[in-house]
Amino acid sequence: MTTRAGFVALIGEPNAGKSTLLNRMVGAKVSIVTHKVQTTRARIRGVAMAGESQIVFVDTPGLFRPRRRLDRAMVAAAWGGAADADVIVLLIEAHRGKTDGVDTILTALSEKATGRRVVLAINKIDRVEAPVLLKLTEEMNAAFPFERTFMISAERGYGVQDLREWLAHAMPEGPFLYPEDQIADLPMRMIAAEMTREKLTLRLHEELPYQLTVETEHWEERKDGSARIDQVVYVARDGHKGIVLGKGGETIKAVSKAAREELEEFMGRRVHLFLQVKVRPNWLEEAERYTEMGLDFRDGN
Ligand SMILES: Nc1nc2c(ncn2[C@@H]2O[C@H](COP(=O)(O)OP(=O)(O)OP(=O)(O)O)[C@@H](O)[C@H]2O)c(=O)[nH]1
Ligand SMILES: [Mg+2]
């Protein structure tokens, strides 16, 4: 029997639901999700099997107008993910429609994606009525020659099976790229750091989630089958450290507990998670921090 395998890049504005879709396709939480924009920072690969096809989904940071070095590196990583893909899926939000941000992406797609297969996925259809979808489909297809339009709810799973089947057939013939039981192409220490960053992002406000990074410093396998994981939360200012710790350390304790519980579920075994908060005023300009995040520091130039 002939097998198929290839890459599908998920691109779109921040918050479009790219990571939610990746997780649903893979059937596990490989990429972190929050209600805030700019959650995903690097390219994250999740592997899904569909019959005789292996689809490697590439989750990317959202495309937006970058201001800082980190933003520029994120946007470069997103376009890099699209450049390598066999199919590009552009996700937009049904209730927000064809925004200025979407227009900017369409213009860039016309320049960068010549000769590539591009499909549109209108996500969050649970939030609108059918006539809105029809109008948006028309509007989008008048602006760009999408090969297909899918209407989905990544969160609820509507329309996702159709998209999966279409992508499975669109993959080029060839041997599988990953072992069949592998679901992610991201080191465990990075997945663990991302889980902690998700919990921090959910509990902290305004600019703080964008001013911190999490790294796994030490990972120890214990004889009893559990793992001891030590992570550092880098913040840019003294004041931020106090906020991350919270009154009497209650914020960091809650973050640590939530991250540990999710890690234990993901790994199927006990985890001892230790978080330390360090002030590092210049971390956003340090090449090593970018490498740890899976980004290219020079992309931020
Ligand atoms: N109502 C609704 N919400 C959704 C749907 N899909 C995703 N969301 C929500 O949209 C928010 C953003 O989802 P993410 O998957 O983090 O979006 P993203 O595109 O990866 O965002 P960035 O990583 O910031 O670029 C979360 O609160 C999701 O729960 C959907 O189909 N319907
Ligand atoms: Mg994301």
Question: What pLDDT score was predicted for residue 251?
Answer: 97
> Which residue out of 155, 160, 198 has the highest number of ligand 1 atoms within 8 Å of its CB and is therefore the one to mutate?
155
CB of 157 sitting under 6 A from ligand 1: no
Question: What pLDDT score was predicted for residue 196?
Answer: 98
CB of 37 sitting under 6 A from ligand 1: yes
For helices 250-267 and 188-203, the axis angle rounded to 10 degrees is 140
Question: What pLDDT score was predicted for residue 88?
Answer: 98
CA–centroid distance, 22 to ligand 1, in Å, is 11
Tokens linked to 184: 């992610």
Q: How far apart are CA 78 and CA 117, in angstroms?
A: 17
CB of 24 sitting under 6 A from ligand 1: no
Which phi and psi angles does 120 have, rounded to 5°?
-105, 135
Question: What pLDDT score was predicted for residue 115?
Answer: 81
Q: Confirm if 255 and 275 have CB atoms less than 8 A apart.
A: yes
Sheet holding 184-185, edge to edge: 149-151, 117-123, 87-93, 4-12, 53-59, 44-50, 184-185
From first to last of the 301 residues of the chain, give the pLDDT tens digit.
Answer: 799 999 999 999 999 999 999 999 999 999 999 999 999 999 999 999 999 999 999 999 999 999 999 999 999 999 999 998 999 999 999 999 999 999 999 999 999 888 889 999 999 999 999 999 999 999 999 999 999 999 999 999 999 999 999 999 999 999 999 999 999 998 999 999 999 999 999 999 999 999 999 999 999 999 999 999 999 999 999 999 999 999 999 999 999 999 999 999 999 999 999 999 999 999 999 999 999 999 999 999 8
Nearest CA to ligand 1 atom 1: 124
Q: Which element (helix H / strand E) includes 202?
A: helix 188-203
How many beta carbons lie within 10 A of that of residue 24, not counting itself?
23
CB of 104 sitting under 6 A from ligand 1: no
Q: How far apart are CA 277 and CA 212, in angstroms?
A: 10
Q: Token match 């997945």: residue?
A: 191
Question: What pLDDT score was predicted for residue 205?
Answer: 94
Helices first, then strands: H and E counts in the chain: 9, 10
Question: What pLDDT score was predicted for residue 114?
Answer: 81
CB of 287 sitting under 6 A from ligand 1: no
Q: Confirm if 235 and 278 have CB atoms less than 8 A apart.
A: yes
Question: What pLDDT score was predicted for residue 86?
Answer: 97
Q: How far apart are CA 77 and CA 296, in angstroms?
A: 8
Q: How far apart are CA 295 and CA 279, in angstroms?
A: 21
